[in-house]
């Protein structure tokens, strides 16, 4: 999503396999949360692994945000439903990768991810940004799954589908799909996460720990 312009400081790259103070692996706090980091492989809008993603299952967030997400998971489980994370903490180098990708001629995923938008417009229309709340450790991209099967609930379109149909309140989706989006939205808001209007999957923890810092350590396992 498109970010405002706060004062920015940038942490140095990670030199170890540990995490900076104040960050945690989400599954260390709640192992029932499923993880499938799309930017660690080729199944994303760029068509390639994104810089800084060295693990597909190491979802990282600021610790307080991770704890809040765990509470959301616990409440959803009462309905037999859980969370699946597509992206959590994102290194600044990944956003830099998106900028360079936008200048290239690579469009292998256009039909699947942004059929109605020129890639050069993805920034101006707020779908990707040069700086992201993900790099502050407070943003998470999620969907809902059935706990018994791991199957995703139908949200009307895929994660990172850059189109008006991805927005909250979009026309062109079924009642069931709208209700599934509402279920996720209500659960996340009750847990202290605020939605982004253009993307049903994107939420930001409102009591973020690092409001002025964009981190750049790699996403990797412990």
Provide φ and ψ at 169, rounded to 5°: 80, 15
Per the DSSP assignment, residues forming a β-bridge with 219 are 53
Annotated active-site residue 158? The verdict is no
**How many CB atoms are closer than 10 A to CB 136?**
27
> Is residue 205 left, alpha or beta, with left meaning phi > 0 and alpha meaning psi from -120 to 50?
beta
From the candidates 199, 204, 206, 208, give the one annotated as an active-site residue.
199
Tell me how far apart the alpha carbons of residues 201 and 170 are, in angstroms, rounded to a whole number: 13
Tell me how far apart the alpha carbons of residues 140 and 134 are, in angstroms, rounded to a whole number: 7
Contact (Cβ atoms closer than 8 angstroms) between residue 35 and residue 27: yes
Residues labelled catalytic: 199
């Amino acid at each position: 999503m498109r970010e405002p312009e706060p004062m920015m400081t940038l942490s140095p790259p990670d030199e170890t396999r540990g995490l900076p103070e104040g960050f945690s692996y989400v599954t260390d706090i709640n192992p029932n949360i499923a993880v499938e980091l799309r930017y660690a492989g080729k199944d994303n809008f760029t068509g390639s692994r994104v810089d800084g993603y060295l693990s597909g299952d190491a979802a990282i967030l600021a610790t307080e945000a991770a704890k809040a997400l765990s509470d959301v998971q616990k409440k959803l489980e009462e309905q037999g439903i859980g969370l699946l994370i597509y992206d959590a903490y994102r290194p600044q180098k990944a956003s830099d990768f998106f900028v360079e990708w936008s200048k290239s001629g690579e469009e292998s995923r256009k039909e699947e991810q942004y059929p109605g938008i020129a890639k050069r417009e993805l920034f101006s229309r707020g779908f990707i940004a040069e700086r992201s709340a993900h790099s502050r450790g407070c943003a998470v991209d999620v969907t809902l799954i059935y706990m018994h099967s791991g199957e995703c609930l139908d949200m009307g379109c895929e994660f990172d589908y850059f189109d008006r149909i991805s927005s909250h309140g979009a026309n062109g989706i079924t009642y069931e799909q709208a209700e599934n989006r509402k279920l996720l939205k209500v659960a996340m808001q009750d847990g202290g996460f605020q939605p982004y209007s253009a993307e049903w999957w994107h939420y930001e923890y409102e009591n973020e720990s690092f409001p002025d810092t964009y981190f750049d350590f790699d996403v990797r396992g412990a």
